[in-house]
A and B are shown apart, each in its own frame.
Chain A
């Protein structure tokens, strides 16, 4: 038996049966599918399979190597954990969408050519938007529409880039691309949109917080990390990515500090964490690419955990606005505890997953002598602790008591959070199994006394800064508001420009109606007089007058000739 069958198809084709099953059988089935997928991945031998001839070029639908396998594993694990978290949801639509979406992401990771990648790339977009629309609000509908347009645009650029590549090189193979030629640039931008590069990022903060409680958790895992994988495959060592990534780590955190919707705060910090991975890809050494892969792995878990905890709050309280929350540790102690584990992991506290993965990227950046970038990453590390590590748990579970009392999260949510938290701590305490899965051999020890002390100083002094600013009242209070971001260009400016253009056009029509109308009327009257039913030029003339005119012309000719 060979591995012709793309692993993601287990979830995609498997989802067909979901609506046919009822009750407990369906729950068991939803949990079993990702486990079956995981077992298939463990069995999957290295190599290239599923080859097809297409457009005179060869497609490779399944390429198994260390990089694709690592992302495949974590995607399947994420699909399983989010399935547990969503067990209380009974809507087949959301369940099928989540399965198709995660399956498409898995299959995209194993795609060995750009065409297969494009197919699954677009499928992730189409399936995932269902998770946003399932919120069934006007806001969610519109945010989902904007999200879909951006995602499909990314796919169109990828297709154009792939065809240009095919034209130039005669091959659709998805190998290292590098920034040369128009096809490569199109593909780079396509990846950049999905990876939420600065100025291409806003679909993420716009749409993710509008999805359903469980949908946001699912969304957080796949789309952007698929883009990270694609960049690592196609553009490792592209120096521009160092600068792009550094900008990505820094600028979203300013928004995260002043944002009120705590799931949107998490979306900004998701963007910031992607920046670390993009820097790793840009640096491009073995250590750096290992760092990116490891960080993607641990990031998917702790980010899902944070979104799970905020989802539980939204589920129970009905809001995740910082202004309306506080003191929830009394009602939801377990959720608060799991949230703190996620917060410690994203902040890279020693013994938590972020510590052992982010360190690889920072060390690789320093080793290549990128001093300014390294300082920016250090700033972003302090900043992410500040807004994700402290702000999220503090405003939701502590701060001033909002007086809100609710039940603890449902059991399935608690189980999902407990398992995810256990993985976050497990990776942090014992990173060797993760290191063994990385694309290149790892010779790195995260737990040196120097590294632990440096990191603890960075974090505890950041906590001190927060405490001092809070106590002195300088810290900006949470406010019911939204903050303008780049989406203002198309949601604010773009709309205003198009509305203004429409208004101008209709004003022009009205203004010109007067003088033009007179001309128009005069013109049509003249036409009617000459060409109308009674018009001179519309009359049928007798043959006699024709003969007369011919005779006159001949006479005139004779006269002219002899004259």
Chain B
């Protein structure tokens, strides 16, 4: 039998590389912020790193809340068919 091609992402160390590159990207986006004149109607938009921090907190909050909601909302797949 033909052996299946091994993909780049099949190697665990490459997944780790992807993971850390997200961190690096976040760092870069913070580093260049002082060089850019931030516009915005609200004062919070001028706080350093506001959008980044907001995105991170929003997503963690979203996932943890949704996870907790499962306790109330989750039912077996055939719940309505019984």
Binding site for B on A (CB under 8 A): 139, 253-255, 257-258, 329-330, 366-367, 369, 371, 374, 378-379, 382-383, 386, 398, 401, 448-451, 453-469, 471, 474-476, 479-485, 491-492
Given A459-B55, A476-B63, A476-B67, A483-B26 contact (CB < 8 Å): no
Contact among A398, A401, A453, A481 with B76 in the assembled complex (CB-CB below 8 Å): A481
Contact among A371, A379, A457 with B42 in the assembled complex (CB-CB below 8 Å): A371
Closest Cβ–Cβ distance, residue B75 to chain A (whole Å): 6
Chain B residues in 8 Å Cβ range of A474: 63-64, 67
- Complex Cα distance A517/B53, Å? 76
Closest Cβ–Cβ distance, residue B42 to chain A (whole Å): 6
- Of all chain B residues, the one with the shortest Cβ separation from A321 is B77
- Of all chain A residues, the one with the shortest Cβ separation from B69 is A254
Please name 7 pairs of A and B residues whose Cβ atoms are closer than 8 Å in the assembled complex, sorted by A. A386-B59, A453-B29, A456-B29, A461-B51, A461-B53, A464-B22, A466-B63
Interchain CB contact under 8 A, B63 and A386: yes
Chain A residues in 8 Å Cβ range of B25: 460
Interchain CB contact under 8 A, B52 and A461: yes
Contact among A258, A378, A457, A460 with B73 in the assembled complex (CB-CB below 8 Å): A258
B 1-35 contacts with A by CB, 8 A: 4-5, 7, 9-10, 19, 22-23, 25-26, 29-30, 32-33
- Complex Cα distance A488/B69, Å? 15
Chain A interface mostly: helix
- Of all chain A residues, the one with the shortest Cβ separation from B41 is A366
Contact among B23, B56, B67, B77 with A482 in the assembled complex (CB-CB below 8 Å): B77
Chain A residues in 8 Å Cβ range of B73: 255, 258, 483-485
- Complex Cα distance A464/B42, Å? 25
Chain A residues in 8 Å Cβ range of B65: 254
Closest Cβ–Cβ distance, residue A26 to chain B (whole Å): 38
Closest Cβ–Cβ distance, residue A31 to chain B (whole Å): 36
Interchain CB contact under 8 A, B36 and A460: no
Chain B residues in 8 Å Cβ range of A386: 59, 62-63
Closest Cβ–Cβ distance, residue A52 to chain B (whole Å): 45
Contact among B36, B40, B69 with A258 in the assembled complex (CB-CB below 8 Å): B69
Chain B residues in 8 Å Cβ range of A475: 63
Interchain CB contact under 8 A, B52 and A460: yes
Contact among B23, B33, B40, B64 with A464 in the assembled complex (CB-CB below 8 Å): B23
Closest Cβ–Cβ distance, residue B31 to chain A (whole Å): 11
Query: Contact flags (1/0) for B47-82 with A, using CB distance below 8 Å?
Result: 001011111101110111111011011111101110
Chain A residues in 8 Å Cβ range of B62: 253-254, 257, 379, 382-383, 386
Given A366-B40, A476-B63, A467-B19 contact (CB < 8 Å): yes
Closest Cβ–Cβ distance, residue B29 to chain A (whole Å): 5
- Complex Cα distance A484/B70, Å? 9
- Of all chain B residues, the one with the shortest Cβ separation from A492 is B80
- Of all chain B residues, the one with the shortest Cβ separation from A466 is B59
- Complex Cα distance A491/B49, Å? 46
Q: Which of B32, B62, B76 lies at the interface centre, i.e. has the most chain A CB atoms within 10 A of its CB?
A: B62
Given A456-B29, A483-B75, A382-B40 contact (CB < 8 Å): no
Closest Cβ–Cβ distance, residue B8 to chain A (whole Å): 11
Interchain CB contact under 8 A, B58 and A482: no
Chain A residues in 8 Å Cβ range of B23: 464
- Complex Cα distance A474/B32, Å? 31
- Complex Cα distance A179/B70, Å? 37
Interchain CB contact under 8 A, B74 and A454: no
Chain B residues in 8 Å Cβ range of A379: 54, 58, 62
Chain B residues in 8 Å Cβ range of A369: 41
Chain B residues in 8 Å Cβ range of A468: 60
Interchain CB contact under 8 A, A481 and B66: no
Contact among A257, A453, A460 with B32 in the assembled complex (CB-CB below 8 Å): A453
